[in-house]
């Protein structure tokens, strides 16, 4: 094979992150297909519940629905290709398709942080300015927040894709030490251009660090307000903020792993790397509907009604 390969022709890359695929391919297929169906069903159920119940047509629940819909998009970007890989002799993907998967993965990943930031702002206004809440969190404000949540992370990710698809970028390796196209694709390139490094860092700051700082600042303010208020306010803050904080903690841990795995991949055992990579899009999309379905009182109430109605049919 040549030392470097131009991107003029169709280039295919191989995924080398699977463990004992020849032995467990059908077990993997059944497990992942089951998880994918559960993710679609659980997330879509709560989204439909929020859509159809007028009492849930409030900013907080609309943001939750957007977050769960985001999880469906993320998994649909990854799971179908992975299921094909399980039953295929070769786990390959064109470089162009890999870049599309890379773009969508970080678009939806960044959107999740921005949606959590919108939820933090919603809770802050609800607790600190309850009387002004309807005038601040209007229908227009909610739409603007949703548009920005998907548009802002898209810009740096799109620039990265354009730079990586540039004909001047050469590939010295056609094997990804992973099971889908995330940060691991940087290991394919002979030399990572400085522009890619700069925009990669900008993307991390823009899509993760800035919304994370905003969330930390907002919840700190909520904590201070709750501490100075009555017991009822503290209870309300705990009931509505705790689910968001649990989801934020889970997402942050997985994002940190995704960022550092590229720098430690040579020393990271292959089975451990596969297990950790699966966590990014395996338990987290199941964790979200579980948390919001059980911890959010109004959603939990409507879920119980839905289950009771289903039993009577």
- Determine the 3-state secondary structure of 175 from DSSP: strand
How many C-beta neighbours within 10 Å does residue 6 have? Answer: 12
Assess if residue 280 is contained within a domain: yes
Give pLDDT, residue 174. Answer: 86
Structural domain for 299, as ranges: 12-312
Assess if residue 7 is contained within a domain: no
> What's the token pair of residue 109?
């990943």
CA 59 → CA 64, 289, 311, distances in Å? 9, 17, 31
Q: Is the pLDDT assigned to residue 294 strictly greater than 80?
A: no
d(CA 175, CA 183): 13
Assess if residue 3 is contained within a domain: no
Give pLDDT, residue 267. Answer: 62
172 band by pLDDT with thresholds 50, 70 and 90: confident
CATH of the domain at 193: 1.20.1070.10
Give pLDDT, residue 9. Answer: 54
- Determine the 3-state secondary structure of 269 from DSSP: coil
Mean pLDDT, the chain, integer: 83
Q: Is the pLDDT assigned to residue 167 strictly greater than 60?
A: no
How far from the centroid of its chain's Cα atoms is residue 30's Cα?
23
CA neighbours closer than 13 Å in the CB half-sphere of residue 310: 7
Buried b (16+ CB within 10 A) or exposed e, 239-267: ebbebbebbbebbeebbeebeebbeebee
DSSP string, 119-167: HHHHHHHHHH-TTTHHHHS-HHHHHHHHHHHHHTTHHHHHHHHHHHTST
pLDDT digits 0-9 by tens, 2-54: 445 555 457 888 888 888 888 888 998 999 999 999 999 989 999 998 998 88
Assess if residue 1 is contained within a domain: no
Percent residues over pLDDT 70 in the chain: 90
Using alpha carbons, select from 73, 77, 96, 84 the residue that is nearest to residue 12. Answer: 96
pLDDT digits 0-9 by tens, 281-292: 777 888 888 887
Give pLDDT, residue 261. Answer: 66
d(CA 220, CA 226): 10
Assess if residue 175 is contained within a domain: yes
Give pLDDT, residue 188. Answer: 83
Does the pTM of the predicted model rise above 0.85? yes
Give pLDDT, residue 190. Answer: 82
Give how many domains the chain has, as a whole number: 1
Give pLDDT, residue 262. Answer: 59
d(CA 3, CA 61): 53
Residue 176: enclosing H or E segment and its boundaries? strand 175-176
Q: What is the mean pLDDT of residues 222-229?
A: 80
Assess if residue 5 is contained within a domain: no
144 band by pLDDT with thresholds 50, 70 and 90: very high
Alpha helices (H) in 165-269, listed in sequence order: 194-204, 210-228, 231-264
> What's the token pair of residue 199?
């925009």
pLDDT digits 0-9 by tens, 246-261: 888 888 887 877 777 6
Assess if residue 305 is contained within a domain: yes
- Determine the 3-state secondary structure of 310 from DSSP: helix
pLDDT digits 0-9 by tens, 50-101: 998 888 888 989 999 999 999 999 999 999 999 999 998 888 999 889 999 9
Is 39:285 a contact under the CB 8 Å cutoff? yes
313 band by pLDDT with thresholds 50, 70 and 90: low
Assess if residue 290 is contained within a domain: yes
């Amino acid at each position: 094979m040549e030392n470097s390969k131009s991107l003029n022709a169709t280039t295919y890359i191989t995924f080398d992150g699977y463990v004992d695929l020849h032995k467990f391919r059908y077990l993997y297929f059944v497990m992942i297909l089951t998880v994918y169906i559960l993710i679609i069903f659980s997330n879509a159920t709560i989204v439909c519940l929020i859509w159809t119940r007028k009492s849930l047509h409030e900013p907080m629940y609309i943001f939750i629905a957007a977050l769960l819909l985001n999880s469906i998009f993320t998994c649909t970007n990854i799971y179908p290709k992975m299921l094909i890989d399980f039953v295929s002799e070769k786990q390959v993907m064109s470089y162009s398709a890999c870049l599309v998967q890379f773009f969508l993965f970080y678009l939806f990943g960044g959107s999740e942080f921005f949606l959590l930031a919108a939820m933090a702002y919603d809770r802050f206004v609800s607790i600190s300015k309850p009387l002004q809440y309807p005038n601040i969190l209007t229908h227009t404000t909610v739409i603007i927040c949703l548009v920005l949540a998907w548009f802002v992370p898209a810009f740096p990710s799109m620039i990265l894709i354009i730079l990586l698809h540039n004909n001047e970028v050469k590939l010295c390796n056609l094997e990804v030490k992973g099971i889908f196209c995330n940060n691991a694709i940087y290991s394919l390139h002979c030399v990572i251009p400085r522009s890619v490094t700069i925009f990669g860092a900008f993307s991390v700051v823009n899509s993760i660090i800035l919304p994370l700082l905003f969330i930390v600042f907002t919840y700190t303010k909520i904590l201070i307000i709750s501490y100075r208020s009555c017991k009822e306010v503290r209870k309300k803050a705990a009931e509505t903020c705790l689910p968001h904080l649990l989801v934020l903690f889970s997402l942050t841990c997985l994002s940190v792993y995704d960022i550092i795995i590229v720098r430690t991949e040579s020393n990271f055992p292959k089975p451990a790397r596969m297990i950790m990579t699966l966590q990014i899009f395996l338990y987290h999309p199941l964790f979200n509907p579980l948390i919001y379905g059980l911890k959010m009182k109004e959603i939990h109430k409507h879920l119980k009604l839905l289950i009771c109605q289903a039993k009577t049919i």
